[in-house]
Chain A
């Protein structure tokens, strides 16, 4: 694969890819890094707020749980969250964008106006509101994030589908009498796949960040789950003396989001070298 080989020449993208591979591995097999997974959830009040050391690499939290184990376990929930939210947003957003982009008329006008309205409200604020209504818990956070992220896909797919639709081969297919579904599914969709994948990669990083904020604000994951955002929120009370409590979950978020963004940028450069690396 020529495209893959070209990606490997892009150093930041490779770093991003390595971060993501590593994160995925420990999300699936956390026992690779943590011998005693039970320790992550079982506190020992005598060992509370121990600084980082040989026994506890990242120190311990206010209940004496091993922070390293909790950060590792948090990877799983963060990645599941990102993947589920982005997939759900794609399932909603991509077909809507295809329909709105391929057809003209009231339906596509309606779809795009709704999209614009949702996009006009900052995603975080809307997500907080929805999560608040749905009640606490990781599920409601996921629903809130998916319900606010799909318009990004609709916008992307819409503008790309418009571009592809105006190309001659679509006209040729219409001339042959191909069905609308066939044209959308087999011809427009593959031609818009690249920007959708890039949007999805960057979107996963973004979702992790937003999910952490929801956890931090207490509308996301609930204790005792090893959520990073939640951990920062709890650790905040012990700053600055017990700095490690909030710092290590924060670094984990930083690293994972960085991984997604680097890879996303690399993919974008592959598809369109003219778009310079932003940021």
Chain B
């Protein structure tokens, strides 16, 4: 296998801790804890998790908007971590971002065309002709007509806002696009067209996607590989088929089992109880143990690390529990 395009090793980020001169001290929150993964050229990596799992913080770290406390990020063989945000962002212009709510990501006072121009100007494309060419090209690519440049953000529908968000990012010719909840707030019938467009664009521009979502069905259909996050840590990482076909971590199982299915079948649903704990109050050892149906005493002692259970499928759950979950009466088939 060729060297990965993006390599993330032991990434960590904490918030709060000490207070400033004029402000009170905030409680220390560990948002991202020891996250490692590779991203290969041309693949779609899904990052799944519920609110508060650290998805957005991870995105900001990858983009260089936040400075990591620990760990390294290597882009195309070059070390791009350990720098202050501004510097880091400059080095990572190959990585761009499409917002969860692309309508709100547009300045309400600016016409779409001005925003597109400005986006490129910020990236040093000073030739106005060049910018015009790119704008008409990317608008065509996302399936919008040229007169959309004269619209204001509030004049766009939800689907059109997503398209403008994509066009804005594409105009910068990135190699990696971070898609943050690309379908949230869209109707099912519109979701499909947006997802299909993203697939087409990926082929046309040879893009690599990192898709962040809480919607398992979107991730299932779009991604080659999936990382499942819980409270700042990756608990399961593997190829889509493996993760959905034989989910191994109890949290992944609960996630997959919780999606409302079209066939009512109460027996197969393994519901987990309670809500995710507060990020200021993460349980010791395995963060999931407070809700885990299988938790044993030793789970409180050590944080489980990602371990390989098959080729390209890794989970963070100790082997003695794994035997329980993968025993003869495997619940895998019922999921």
B89 A109 Cβ-Cβ under 8 A: no
Question: Is A168 part of the contact surface with B, judged by Cβ < 8 Å?
Answer: yes
B20 A109 Cβ-Cβ under 8 A: yes
Question: Is A233 part of the contact surface with B, judged by Cβ < 8 Å?
Answer: no
A177 B105 Cβ-Cβ under 8 A: no
Report the interface size class on chain A: 20 to 34
B21 A109 Cβ-Cβ under 8 A: yes
CA distance A173 to B86 in the complex (A): 12
Contacts A168-B101, A169-B106, A187-B107: A174 and B65 contacting too (C-beta < 8 A)? yes
Contacts A176-B119, A177-B93, A177-B122: A113 and B106 contacting too (C-beta < 8 A)? no
How many whole Å from A103's CB to the nearest CB in chain B? 12
**What residues of chain B lie closer than 8 Å to A177, measured between beta carbons?**
86, 89-90, 93, 122-123
A106 B104 Cβ-Cβ under 8 A: no
**What residues of chain A lie closer than 8 Å to B109, measured between beta carbons?**
190-191
Question: Is A42 part of the contact surface with B, judged by Cβ < 8 Å?
Answer: no
**What residues of chain A lie closer than 8 Å to B20, measured between beta carbons?**
104-106, 109
**What residues of chain A lie closer than 8 Å to B65, measured between beta carbons?**
171, 174-175
A179 closest partner in B (C-beta): B122
Task: Tell me which residues from 108 to 136 in chain B have a Cβ below 8 Å from any Cβ of chain A.
Answer: 108-109, 118-119, 122-123
Question: Is A167 part of the contact surface with B, judged by Cβ < 8 Å?
Answer: yes
**What residues of chain B lie closer than 8 Å to A179, measured between beta carbons?**
122
Question: Is A178 part of the contact surface with B, judged by Cβ < 8 Å?
Answer: yes
B22 A106 Cβ-Cβ under 8 A: yes
B99 A168 Cβ-Cβ under 8 A: yes
Task: Tell me which residues from 124 to 182 in chain A have a Cβ below 8 Å from any Cβ of chain B.
Answer: 167-169, 171-179, 182
Annotate A3-32 by CB proximity to B: 1 below 8 A, 0 otherwise: 000000000000000000000000000000
**What residues of chain B lie closer than 8 Å to A190, measured between beta carbons?**
109
B97 closest partner in A (C-beta): A175
How many whole Å from A176's CB to the nearest CB in chain B? 5
CA distance A178 to B65 in the complex (A): 12
CA distance A240 to B20 in the complex (A): 61
CA distance A74 to B118 in the complex (A): 48
User: Contact partner of B107 among A105, A169, A174, CB < 8 A?
Assistant: A169
How many whole Å from B270's CB to the nearest CB in chain A? 36
User: Contact partner of B122 among A109, A182, A191, CB < 8 A?
Assistant: A182
Contacts A105-B20, A175-B63, A177-B122: A169 and B105 contacting too (C-beta < 8 A)? yes
**What residues of chain B lie closer than 8 Å to A186, measured between beta carbons?**
118
Contacts A168-B99, A169-B105: A176 and B123 contacting too (C-beta < 8 A)? yes
CA distance A211 to B214 in the complex (A): 61
**What residues of chain A lie closer than 8 Å to B63, measured between beta carbons?**
175
**What residues of chain A lie closer than 8 Å to B105, measured between beta carbons?**
168-169, 171-172
**What residues of chain B lie closer than 8 Å to A191, measured between beta carbons?**
107-109
How many whole Å from B34's CB to the nearest CB in chain A? 25
A167 closest partner in B (C-beta): B104
A178 closest partner in B (C-beta): B122
B99 A172 Cβ-Cβ under 8 A: yes
CA distance A109 to B24 in the complex (A): 13
A106 B123 Cβ-Cβ under 8 A: no
Contacts A106-B20, A113-B22, A190-B109: A176 and B104 contacting too (C-beta < 8 A)? no
How many whole Å from B84's CB to the nearest CB in chain A? 13
**What residues of chain A lie closer than 8 Å to B118, measured between beta carbons?**
178, 186
Annotate B20-39 by CB proximity to A: 1 below 8 A, 0 otherwise: 11110000000000000000
**What residues of chain A lie closer than 8 Å to B23, measured between beta carbons?**
109
CA distance A172 to B168 in the complex (A): 11
CA distance A176 to B97 in the complex (A): 8
CA distance A172 to B164 in the complex (A): 13
CA distance A100 to B118 in the complex (A): 25
CA distance A167 to B23 in the complex (A): 22
**What residues of chain A lie closer than 8 Å to B99, measured between beta carbons?**
168, 171-172
**What residues of chain B lie closer than 8 Å to A178, measured between beta carbons?**
118, 122
How many whole Å from B319's CB to the nearest CB in chain A? 41
28 contacts between A and B (CB under 8 A): A104-B20, A105-B20, A106-B21, A106-B22, A109-B22, A109-B23, A168-B104, A169-B104, A169-B106, A171-B65, A171-B99, A172-B99, A172-B105, A172-B106, A173-B107, A173-B122, A174-B65, A175-B96, A176-B122, A176-B123, A177-B86, A177-B89, A177-B123, A179-B122, A186-B118, A187-B107, A191-B107, A191-B108
Known contacts A169-B105, A177-B123, A186-B118; 20 additional CB pairs below 8 A are A109-B20, A109-B21, A113-B22, A168-B99, A169-B104, A169-B106, A171-B65, A171-B99, A172-B105, A174-B65, A175-B63, A175-B65, A175-B89, A175-B96, A175-B97, A176-B119, A176-B172, A177-B86, A177-B89, A182-B122
Give 10 nearest A-B pairs by CB, closest first.
A109-B22, A172-B105, A168-B104, A178-B122, A169-B107, A177-B89, A168-B105, A190-B109, A175-B97, A169-B105
